[in-house]
Structure 1
Amino acid sequence: MSAPMTDRLHDLQRAMRLIAHAVESLPENCRDVAANALLNIAAEAVVEDVGCAEAGRIFARLADHLHEGRQPPASGAVSLSGFDA
C-alpha cells in the first residue's frame, strides 16, 4: 500500500473513531436516527465528490456486499473499487 493511501486509511479510521464517539455522546433519543443521518451526509458527500452516476455504481457495489452478508467494519474500509465488483 502506498504512503498516501496508508495516510488516507489512517485518516479514515481516525474520522470513524471520532464520529463513533460523537454518536455515543448524542442524547439517547437521537442515537437511533444517527446512522440514517450519517448515511445521508455520506451519500451527499460521495455524490458531490464523484457525481451521481459513479456514486450510484459505488452504492450498488456496497449493496452487493451487504446482500452477501458482508458488513463494513467500523475499524476499517471496504474496497468498493470497480476492480472487485
Structure 2
Amino acid sequence: SSRGRFHVSPILEALSGRFGGLRIVPVQPRPDAAAIRIVVTGIRGSRAGLSLMPALVLHGSEGHGFTPRADGINNGLDALV
C-alpha cells in the first residue's frame, strides 16, 4: 500500500521521450507548510530540460483568504507557470 504517497520518477518516466520543458510547481497550503500537491506541465516534442518552479502558496499565514497569486490564477488573471 502506498499510504497516499507517490514518487515523482514514474511521472517523469511516463513523460520522457514525448514531452520536454517539464516544469514542476509545488502547491503549498500555507507559506510554512510542506507541499500537498504538485503540478507538472510539459511541451510535446521539446528537448528542454526540467525546471522546479517556485511554489504556489494558496493561503497566507493567517486567515482563509487566497494569496494574490492564487486568487489571480483562480480568476483567470494570472498563469500558473
| TM-score, structure 2 normalization | 0.28
**Greater per-residue helix proportion:** 1
- More strand, by proportion: 2
Structure having greater relative contact order (Cα 8 Å, sep ≥ 6): 1
